Each structure stands twice: as C-alpha cells, then as structure tokens.
C-alpha cells in the first residue's frame, strides 16, 4: 500500500492542465500539504512530491488564469519561433512588447556564462544513459545546474519551482513550434501548470518515497 494518496494520476490522459491545478487545490489538506506525481523520477509511483501550499479559492483561480494566459502567449510565440533570434533587441521586430517579455522570461536560453555547452550536453546525455562520468565532469555539471537554477530564479519573483516553470514553458513552446502531437504538448503543459501554482503559492517542495 502506498504511503500517500496523490492528488491525481499522471497517467490519466483525460486530465487537462487546469484540472491538475483544480485537483491540487482540492487535495490541499488542513496542514496545507498535498502529494502529486513525481516531476523528476520514473512514473512508477515509488516516489512523489510533497507540496506545502498556502492558497485560497481566489489564488487558485489566479493560478489557473496565469497558466491559461501564458499558454496562449507561448502559442503565439511558437507560431513565429523560426524567426526568433537570441536577444531582446533582435526580436523586437517579431514580437509585441508583451510577448517579448514572455520570451525573455520563459523562452530565451539560460544564462550560463562561459561554460562549454557542448561538453555539458555530452555529460548530461551520458548521465541520462546511466554511464559513468568523472569527478571533474560531475563538478562541471553541478556548476552548470547551479547557473541555470540561479538564472531561472532571477526571472520569477518566487524562487520555489522557478526552474520547473521556466523549463516547462520552454518545452511547451518548442513542442508547439514543431507541431508535436497534442497529447505530448498536454503532458508537458500539465507539468507547467503545476509548476506555476507551486511557484506562486508554494511554501515547500520535497521528493519523498511512496512505498
């Protein structure tokens, strides 16, 4: 028997991103705590995320509205994705001021200084494949991760789940630009919706065992 009852089943393809926010709010308990499927691990149910959330009905509706507006804006950006460049100045002729701000917050590449991104990508791919990396490579990858998290946190007011909100938005926009199947876009959008809610009203996020 599982330790914790999850707010929803991540395998439920009938769920929309807004449904996820609604269910998160409904399952927030008296101690402002709820459990959702693990964003980071394998979908085997052996781990989950424990969220501490302090929000009311109006704030839940605010999270829903924020997601829906961002999703619509990402769709507009995706429609001109192949015309976008690397800087704000270059994109002023392509995007409206409002969309330019969204691009700058959620879509542009992370600031990582002078790190060799090709090398970082190689390390990441080997780690994902379960291959060993050297201590030097592990240290370099940590520097990269710290830089990415710091940049994401600088873009959003609340640091909690900032990276998750930014990276999911980037992925949703990219998938839209590629005309990916709706089910794939929706799965990523559900994670974006959760991250937005946590970033706005979350007090804590912890990965816990659920076995």
pLDDT given at position 30: 85
β-strand pairing of 202-209 with 33-37: unpaired
Residue 35 pairs with which residues in a beta bridge? 50
pLDDT given at position 117: 93
Where in the chain are the domains? Answer: 17-209
Residue with tokens 């959620």: 106
Tokens of 75: 């769709």
Q: How many other CB atoms are found less than 10 A from the CB of residue 71?
A: 20
pLDDT given at position 43: 65
Give, for all 211 residues of the chain, the pLDDT tens digit: 789 999 999 889 999 999 999 999 999 988 899 999 999 877 677 999 999 999 999 999 999 999 999 999 999 999 999 999 999 999 999 999 999 999 999 999 999 999 999 999 999 999 988 899 999 999 999 999 999 999 999 999 889 999 999 999 999 999 999 999 999 999 999 999 999 999 999 999 999 999 8
Distance CA 207, CA 129 (A): 22
Q: CA 163, 70, 179 angle in degrees (round to 5)?
A: 90
* CA nearest neighbour of 201 among 101, 51, 8: 51
Q: CA 86, 91, 97 angle in degrees (round to 5)?
A: 130
């Amino acid at each position: 028997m599982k330790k914790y009852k999850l707010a929803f089943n991540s395998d439920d393809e009938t769920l929309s991103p807004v449904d996820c926010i609604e269910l998160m709010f409904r399952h927030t308990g008296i101690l402002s705590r709820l459990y959702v499927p693990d964003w980071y691990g394998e979908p085997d149910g052996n781990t989950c995320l424990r969220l501490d959330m302090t929000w009311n009905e109006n704030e839940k509706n605010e999270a829903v509205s924020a997601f829906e507006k961002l999703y619509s804006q990402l769709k507009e950006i995706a429609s001109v994705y192949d015309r976008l460049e690397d800087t704000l100045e270059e994109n002023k002729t392509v995007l409206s001021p409002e969309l330019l701000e969204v691009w700058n917050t959620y879509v542009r590449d992370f600031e990582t200084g002078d790190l060799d991104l090709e090398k970082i990508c190689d390390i990441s791919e080997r780690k994902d494949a379960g291959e060993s990396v050297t201590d030097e490579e592990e240290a370099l990858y940590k520097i990269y991760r710290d830089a990415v998290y710091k940049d994401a946190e600088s873009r959003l007011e609340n640091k909690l789940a900032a990276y998750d909100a930014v990276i999911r938005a980037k992925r949703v926009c990219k998938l839209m630009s590629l005309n990916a199947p709706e089910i794939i876009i929706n799965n990523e959008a559900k994670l974006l919706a959760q991250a937005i809610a946590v970033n706005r009203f979350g007090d804590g996020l912890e990965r816990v065992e659920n076995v």
